[in-house]
Structure 1
């Protein structure tokens, strides 16, 4: 069994001695650091850090770590998060009709490629209900129209509260979430079928084909009010040629979408992504 760990993600104005202050907090309480990574964005004047340490032997109970660190963080003007490896996140996967990203995430979760529970699926179509039933996931069919969007989003938010969901993954959910929904539940990852910022919005493969591109890509990002413009977590590309049809681009793109989304979800669940502004630092 791997020893349980705690992880701090910290961002604050850059200044001298930050690495020493953060590391000393853990050392002073007899913690053993197993991962330390730091980055300074000189343009933004920000210091960003990820520290992970073993809980065994740490002399602060878990419930006392956050209050103790807050005393250090406040004079540094730091924003921070504290996570424990023993906490298993709960994911809701949202889908429409396409199943390739959904099935890939379920398979990876069953193969224990990432530690999470998937108790809930929500869809604006009924097509993938049998997949949820096959894997013992509760499925809710909530069709969305202009007329009922706010009502359905209220139901979706209630389901997220009911199932104690920590992260929503939009695995080809072909609906735009409202700003109100995002402000109430900001922990959302989306997969977009292009190498953003190119070809944002609908039908990117068709537009890529018309443009005669030589590479296509996929992008996993956090969802914000601005369509397909949230902080990017992971991207990848594959080469295409003049011989490829739109169908070929879609086929190759689906392979990328699976891998890119899985990487992003895994990075998020391992607390290796730190968002600042509309950017991310990914501590790999």
Structure 2
């Protein structure tokens, strides 16, 4: 237990140092763009493929439930809200941490065991400002756009399955969303995606830069990074959703 709290304390200090390094100049734009392109290239196709069954399963489950309770006209609203509020940010978080985060951790872990990070510090270059800040920025930007992709693909998949497999009404699928949904739902989802992208990048970078034990230690750091990211992101999601429902009035309430 003591080691866990010590690790949390070190990660907190690492996060504070990273945010302190954000305003320092020069900002590593080339590194940020390269990392954003890499994360997007390894994440966008799996994200789109995962979003389709997510939207379909949600539409099938809610469509069947709405028929049982006689609320078929609100099946579209429930499906779209579920995709926008929950499925989009969660899928984005899992893909960013699983694909992008593991690659970041492996890259920085390899640099650590090759003593590149120590060499940078010897030359007066701050590894956090040079390597971590651009990756955090890239994770946030890519998560923002990936969440939009997940939402669009999930809604389209839910629409197809609801209309063509459950004989739903095309007009009511989207019209009912306007009755219950609001702009704050989309804004909240996008903000959560940005936070998830930043958190996933920070955890991956921290564990990569503290990898020990050679190549085996790097592999262990990558595994720990994925597991810890999943746990932390689900906890962050719960807290942010709870705050959203407390602070933002909902339609029809």
Query: Is TM-score (shorter-chain normalized) higher than 0.5?
Result: no
Whose strand fraction is larger, Structure 1's or Structure 2's? 1
Higher relative contact order (CA 8 A, sep 6+): 2
**Normalising by structure 1, what TM-score?**
0.25
Say which structure is richer in helix.
2
